[in-house]
């Protein structure tokens, strides 16, 4: 964890459950989930996607179980999967029972679709006997008609009531190995529903904005809802529901937890200035090239690309590694300290080389090996830039003077 996590509200303490080897709730880290888009009966294709999702940061993967072929596929997929598998069940109790026979690590039931109390209790009893947890997956788009009518729509209260009714059926058969989701495509409704759920239940909560849509809008919706709740200490596991390659869902979930300081950084975190009149290079181009080259290294490192050496090293001193542009040169810095100067056309290559050395030798060793003349060169470039373009790159002082002349008298 980094200092960011201490700025968030304390995590709400929930019961802890296990989905296979992954702990959810209690003091366990917030986990990332996604769902395959392949036909589950296509065992090899589904496994290929599961491995891609795991590599992108998914801790748990859900697969649909909508027919016998899917259930038989799960029996082959589960033992070969690198992460726990949850079966998604909609209308047929037989598919829930078949998924349990296939050895899945969890079930997701939609209370709006599987509605008969005796069937719900049957599945809960079977899951109880096998030690398999169930997610009560309430969705605003498939709310039970009776609940919809009683509350006058898919309100936050209606979503929580749906989960409460389902949970009561589970409790009748002594089953409590449960997590709960109350998803909606409206970000405001979703946030309100989870706030209510966090007060109503002590079970772990699975966060998500359902049917968020394609990128980039879907990513914005998902982040708006999920990040808001995580910052409030609500949520134990999450899924981005994007109309995109599900790898994007897993990647987004993992990156969100990393930037919030809730999971240890697994890959690259590249930061870059928005550029200004002092920039000596095309910051967008350099940042994109650096993102591509450094991502391939799969190193848990924070790298900064700054447009000029005037403020760059200082503003990005928290970064493990960075580079700032000077007069046709790049000033390579580690945690704010200039370590060497390279030609402009070697900036990205220098970042890649230094990142690899940091990974192999450590930051302290690389600082000890720095070029002692580099800081003096950076200072000279800073002076030239300020001389050339001025500290006020946007000429605010000149504008203010003209405003005063026009408004005098």
Of the candidates 259, 281, 304, which is a domain's last residue?
259
The closest alpha carbon to 233, from 212, 207, 210, belongs to: 207
**Is the alpha carbon torsion for 107, 112, 114, 117 positive or negative?**
positive
pLDDT for res 399: 77
Q: Is 78 left (phi over 0), alpha (psi -120 to 50) or beta?
A: alpha
384 in any annotated domain: yes
315 in any annotated domain: yes
Q: Is the preceding peptide bond at 345 cis, omega within 30 degrees of 0?
A: no
Going from the C-alpha of 235 to that of each of 30, 189, 377, the distances in angstroms are 7, 16, 49
The closest alpha carbon to 109, from 91, 84, 131, belongs to: 91
Summarised one tens digit per residue, pLDDT across range 332-374 is 999 999 999 999 899 999 999 999 999 999 999 999 999 989 8
Rounded distance between C-alpha atoms, residue 115 and residue 166, angstroms: 9
Average predicted confidence (pLDDT) for the chain: 91
286 and 231 in a single domain? The answer is no
230 and 254 in a single domain? The answer is yes
Summarised one tens digit per residue, pLDDT across range 8-17 is 999 999 999 9
Of 329 and 358, the structure prediction assigns the larger pLDDT to 358
Summarised one tens digit per residue, pLDDT across range 205-254 is 999 999 999 999 999 999 999 999 999 999 999 999 999 999 999 999 99
215 and 319 in a single domain? The answer is no
Question: Which residues, 6 or more positions from 311, have their beta carbon under 8 angstroms from its beta carbon?
Answer: none
pLDDT value at 99 more than 70 = yes
229 and 346 in a single domain? The answer is no
Crossing angle of the two packed helices 246-259 and 217-231, in degrees rounded to 10: 40
Domain count, the chain: 2
pLDDT value at 394 more than 80 = no
402 in any annotated domain: no
Are β-strands 60-64 and 85-89 bridged in parallel, bridged antiparallel, or unpaired? parallel
404 in any annotated domain: no
231 and 276 in a single domain? The answer is no
Q: Is 203 left (phi over 0), alpha (psi -120 to 50) or beta?
A: beta
Which two three-digit tokens encode residue 152?
């006058």
Summarised one tens digit per residue, pLDDT across range 40-70 is 999 999 999 999 999 999 999 999 999 999 9
Question: Which residues, 6 or more positions from 55, have their beta carbon under 8 angstroms from its beta carbon?
Answer: none
CA angle 3, 8, 12 (to 5 degrees): 125
Reported confidence tier of residue 179, pLDDT bands at 50, 70, 90: very high
pLDDT for res 375: 86
Contact call for residues 107 and 97 (beta carbons, < 8 A): no
Where in the sequence is the domain holding 80, given as residue range(s)? 3-259
Average confidence (pLDDT) over 99-114: 95
178 and 66 in a single domain? The answer is yes
229 and 359 in a single domain? The answer is no
Rounded distance between C-alpha atoms, residue 282 and residue 275, angstroms: 8
The closest alpha carbon to 183, from 224, 148, 138, 245, belongs to: 138
244 and 357 in a single domain? The answer is no
280 and 227 in a single domain? The answer is no
Contact call for residues 175 and 128 (beta carbons, < 8 A): yes
Rounded distance between C-alpha atoms, residue 254 and residue 112, angstroms: 30
pLDDT for res 88: 97
409 in any annotated domain: no
Rounded distance between C-alpha atoms, residue 166 and residue 138, angstroms: 10
92 and 70 in a single domain? The answer is yes
Question: pTM here?
Answer: 0.83
Which two three-digit tokens encode residue 60?
């748990």
36 in any annotated domain: yes
Average confidence (pLDDT) over 127-151: 96
pLDDT value at 1 more than 50 = no
187 in any annotated domain: yes
314 and 199 in a single domain? The answer is no
Of the candidates 233, 259, 285, which is a domain's last residue?
259
Reported confidence tier of residue 280, pLDDT bands at 50, 70, 90: low
- CATH number of domain containing 187: 3.20.20.20
**Radius of gyration, CA atoms only, the chain:** 26
Rounded distance between C-alpha atoms, residue 63 and residue 70, angstroms: 9
19 in any annotated domain: yes
- CATH number of domain containing 282: 3.30.413.10
247 and 198 in a single domain? The answer is yes
pLDDT for res 5: 52
């Amino acid at each position: 964890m980094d200092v960011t996590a201490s700025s968030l509200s304390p995590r709400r303490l929930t019961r802890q459950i296990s989905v296979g080897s992954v702990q959810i709730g209690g003091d366990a880290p917030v986990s990332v989930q996604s769902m395959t888009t392949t036909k589950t009966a296509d065992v090899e294709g589904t496994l290929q996607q599961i491995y891609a999702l795991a590599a992108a940061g998914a801790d748990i993967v859900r697969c649909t179980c909508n027919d016998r072929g899917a259930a038989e596929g799960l029996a082959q997929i589960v033992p070969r999967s690198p992460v726990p598998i949850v079966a998604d069940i909609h209308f047929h109790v037989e598919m829930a029972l078949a998924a349990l026979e296939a050895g899945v690590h969890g079930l997701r039931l939609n209370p709006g679709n599987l509605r008969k109390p005796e069937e719900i209790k049957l599945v809960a009893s079977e899951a109880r006997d096998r030690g398999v947890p169930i997610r009560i997956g309430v969705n605003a788009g498939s709310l039970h008609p009776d609940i919809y009518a009683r509350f006058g729509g898919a309100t936050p209260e209606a979503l929580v009531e749906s989960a409460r009714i389902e949970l009561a059926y589970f409790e009748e058969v002594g089953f409590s190995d449960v997590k709960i989701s109350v998803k909606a495509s409206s970000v405001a409704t979703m946030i309100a529903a989870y706030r209510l759920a966090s007060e109503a239940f002590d079970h772990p909560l699975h966060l998500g904005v359902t049917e968020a849509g394609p990128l980039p809008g879907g990513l914005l919706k998902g982040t708006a809802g999920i990040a808001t709740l995580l910052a409030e200490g609500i949520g134990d596991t999450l899924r981005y529901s994007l109309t995109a390659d599900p790898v994007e869902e897993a990647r987004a979930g993992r990156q969100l937890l990393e930037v919030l300081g809730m999971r240890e950084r697994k890959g690259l975190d590249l930061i870059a200035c928005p550029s200004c009149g002092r920039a000596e290079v095309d910051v967008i181009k350099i940042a994109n090239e650096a993102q591509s080259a450094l991502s391939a290294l799969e190193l848990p490192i924070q790298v900064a690309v700054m447009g000029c050496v005037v403020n760059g090293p200082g503003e990005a001193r928290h970064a493990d590694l960075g580079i700032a542009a000077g007069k046709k040169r790049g000033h390579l810095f580690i945690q704010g300290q200039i370590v060497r100067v390279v030609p402009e056309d070697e900036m990205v290559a220098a970042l890649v080389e230094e990142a690899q050395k940091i990974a192999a030798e450590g930051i302290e060793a690389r600082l000890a090996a720095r070029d002692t003349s580099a800081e003096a060169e950076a200072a000279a470039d800073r002076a030239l830039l300020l001389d050339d373009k001025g500290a006020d790159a946007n000429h605010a002082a000149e504008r203010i003077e003209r405003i005063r002349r026009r408004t005098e008298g």
